[in-house]
Amino acid sequence: MIKDKTFEFKNGGDPDVASAVAAIRSLLEFLRRDQSETILGLRENMTQAIRRLEETDSSVAVSSGGELFLRFISLTSLEHPDLSQCKNVMIERGELFLKKISLSRGKVGKLCHTFIKDGAKILTHSSSRVVLKVLENAAADNKRFTVYVTESQPDSAGKRMAQKLRKLNIPVMVVLDAAVGYIMEKVDLVIVGAEGVVESGGVINKIGTYQMAVCSKAHNKPFYVVAESFKFVRLYPLNQQDVPDRFKYTADILKTVKDLNQEHPMIDYTPPSLITLLFTDLGVLTPSAVSDELIKLYL
Amino acid sequence: MPGADKETDLSERIESFLSELKRCGSGAGSLRGSAETARETTALLRRITAQARWGNAGELMEIIRKEGRRMTAAQPSETTVGNMIRRVLKIIREEYARSRGSSEETDQQESLHKLLTSGGSSEDNFRQHFTHLKANVIEAINELLTELEGTTDNISMQALEHIHSNEVIMTIGRSRTVEAFLKDAARKRKFHVIVAECAPFCQGHEMATSLCKEDIETTVIPDAAIFAVMSRVNKVIIGTQTVLANGGLRAVNGTHTLALAAKHHSTPLIVCAPMFKLSPQLVILLYKNYFFVLILSKVNAHCPVFDYVPPELITLFISNIGGNAPSYIYRLMSELYHPEDHEL
């Protein structure tokens, strides 16, 4: 049943919705239909549902959305020990939470576009809806700028991003992933999205982001990350190997392939030392401020 | 009528303050240094609280915001004015929350936790009237003024921990905070100071003269010699005009060069800045502050007044509340200002 719901929300539904938001929406629906008698039973059902969701879509965002939802349940159940009352409060708060986080992309867009100056040349990686929103806001502000997008193999997501930007009348050029070092001297700033923001203040994003960050550091260009706050995840990777396998590869590959060493990972980890600023709906944060936010939530 | 007199008196004072601010940009006004500006701004805000007509906290905040916007527009490069206004707005919010008896002071910031647990609109629009609010706010502003008076002393008290005997310290231009810092250490330690003169106004010369009066061995060097001399320097101690939200600095021109030279030689760079210089802004338009110097009749020289120094080049911030790393500035800022006041 949960699988039908997720398919309904993700494939059939709005492609503009972030995967974490779709996951949380389906979990909320699951919560509504849940029949358990105790809060512990409810939590167990939720955990199972989240696991099923991760089997369908193994991205970091879904995992962070799921964990946030579990946290949400625990916090609410602490305040209202009676199950039926608790459920009503949860559903009400869940709706409010959903409403707030669907607005977060707009908030990020508003914060970031002031950093784009007239005549700027921006480099971005792969296809990110948040970066698109930021560039949309900047264009609406009558700023003139050019965008370079990396192709981002293996799924050529960069080409899709370029199409969307062309529709907004923003001059855009697609470059090879290998051309990042070549193009870095021309650009003024780098803006990327994130699939997950980790505790250290680093980000997990499409493969190739780390490369871009190292290059921009070498050329002294600011490297900005735009992400909504529900992408904050409780991971602390120290290097690329530390990122769990379940995030690196798509769900289908995890299920079918025996030797993961032969597969190419879809994401990489960018350490906080390479990131200049993070733009989130909680404000503009330095990488050191991210762990503060996570502590406030989980402690 | 006494009420009308108070109002005209208040608006007169505000106007005279605004004209002082406009003049201090050209160096002609009586407001010398950010400490005085901060004190004058806070005193004026206290007067506004006492004399303006307002019924509840929301109205007071509106009045202060309105006057605040005028003040920052009068002299955009003087960021302490904006900082003090934001401090006072935070004071009003805190006093209001305390009068309501709620513990909301800790929950002021947006956070993931708040997103998850807030049920329904807990929107506080500050419309409730409290009789003691005025007295409480004025008392809190008085505390702020006392804090402002003591900032230079608090910073100087930490001097002995950072300056050791027979050290060579480099500084640039003239900063009253650094001057007091060095003079305090000189009472007990013997050390050598190298001052970069900081062309074209050469304020370093005044700094050197002032330090010499306290029997501190001082050397003045031209800005071009900074890199050459840096290998002999143990520490660099500088002041700044503003501390930005990411831990970077907006300081007198030449500071970025100094910071890069210090980084190259792995020399620690210490910034002495009182808390009222901390600004929640990240991007301050730098290219508007220029001086034009006429050398020959056909040559114009553009001279930027301020430099941006990125946070990676700074080792330590010494403020009136102690020493902090640049990566911690965001935390200090969240304690001083409310996020909704970042934009006045």
| Cβ atoms < 10 Å from Cβ of A153 | 15
In this prediction, residue A252 carries a pLDDT of 78
Helices (H), chain B: 2-24, 33-51, 57-74, 79-100, 112-117, 133-157, 159-162, 176-186, 203-213, 226-230, 255-264, 329-336
Closest CA to A218 of A286, A278, A273, A148: A273
- Report yes or no: A229 at the B interface, CB cutoff 8 Å: yes
Please give the interface size between A and B, counted as residue pairs whose CB atoms are below 8 Å apart.
62
A226 Cα to chain B: minimum distance (Å): 16
Q: How confident is the model at residue B205 (pLDDT cuts 50, 70, 90)?
A: very high
| % of chain A at pLDDT higher than 70 | 94
Chain segment B103-133, per-residue pLDDT in tens? 554 555 556 666 666 654 445 677 777 788 8
Backbone φ and ψ for B100, nearest 5 degrees, come out as -75, -15
Mean pLDDT, chain B, rounded, equals 86
How many residues in chain A? 299
Q: Which is more confident, A50 or B187?
A: B187
Q: Which residues contact A226 (CB under 8 A, 6 or more apart)?
A: A108, A112, A128, A130, A131, A134, A191, A192, A193, A194, A278, A279, A280
Contact A290, A197 (CB under 8 A): yes
Contact B330, B278 (CB under 8 A): no
Q: Which is more confident, A150 or A41?
A: A150
The DSSP code for B16 is H
| % of chain A at pLDDT higher than 90 | 38
Contact A294, A230 (CB under 8 A): no
Q: Which residue of A has its CA nearest to B109?
A: A282
- Report yes or no: A284 at the B interface, CB cutoff 8 Å: yes
**Is ipTM over 0.90?**
no
Average pLDDT over residues A181-197: 94
In this prediction, residue A271 carries a pLDDT of 95
Q: Which residues contact B110 (CB under 8 A, 6 or more apart)?
A: A281, A282, A283, B339
Chain segment B129-163, per-residue pLDDT in tens? 778 888 889 999 999 999 999 999 999 999 999 99
Q: How many helices (H) and strands (E) does chain B have?
A: 12, 12
In this prediction, residue B185 carries a pLDDT of 95
Closest CA to B172 of B219, B234, B214, B242: B219
Chain segment B285-335, per-residue pLDDT in tens? 555 566 666 666 777 777 888 889 999 999 999 998 899 999 899 889 888
Residue-wise burial string across B24-36, b where 16 or more C-beta atoms lie within 10 A, e elsewhere: bbeeeeebeebbe
- Report yes or no: A76 at the B interface, CB cutoff 8 Å: yes
In this prediction, residue A6 carries a pLDDT of 56
In this prediction, residue B1 carries a pLDDT of 56
Which residue type, as a one-letter code, is found at position A198?
A: V
Contact A188, A118 (CB under 8 A): no
- Report yes or no: B113 at the A interface, CB cutoff 8 Å: yes
Q: Which residues contact A195 (CB under 8 A, 6 or more apart)?
A: A59, A60, A61, A203, A204, A205, A206, A231, A267
Contact B319, B249 (CB under 8 A): no
Q: Do A93 and B283 touch (CB under 8 A)?
A: no
Q: Considering only A99-103, A108-112, B225-229, B275-279, which range has the smallest mean pLDDT?
A: A99-103
- Identify the helix (H) or strand (E) that includes residue A215: helix A209-218
Q: Which is more confident, B308 or A262?
A: B308
Chain segment B13-52, per-residue pLDDT in tens? 888 888 888 887 655 555 567 888 899 999 999 998 888 8
Q: Do A76 and B328 touch (CB under 8 A)?
A: no
User: Across the interface, which of B110, B115, B330 has its CB nearest the CB of A289?
Assistant: B330
A42: its two tokens = 């409810």
Q: How far apart are CA B65 and CA B44, in angstroms?
A: 13
Q: Which is more confident, B232 or A259?
A: B232
State the pTM of this model: 0.86
**Max avg pLDDT among A29-38, B95-104, B145-154:** B145-154
- Identify the helix (H) or strand (E) that includes residue B235: strand B235-238
User: Across the interface, which of A71, A284, A288 has its CB nearest the CB of B116?
Assistant: A71
Q: Which residues contact A253 (CB under 8 A, 6 or more apart)?
A: A260, A263
User: Is residue B247 predicted with pLDDT exceeding 80?
Assistant: yes
Q: Which residue of A has its CA nearest to B332?
A: A289
Chain segment A133-154, per-residue pLDDT in tens? 999 999 998 999 999 999 998 8
Q: How far apart are CA A163 and CA A174, in angstroms?
A: 10
Q: How many helices (H) and strands (E) does chain A have?
A: 13, 10
| Cβ atoms < 10 Å from Cβ of B329 | 24
In this prediction, residue B121 carries a pLDDT of 45
In this prediction, residue B105 carries a pLDDT of 47
- Report yes or no: A114 at the B interface, CB cutoff 8 Å: yes
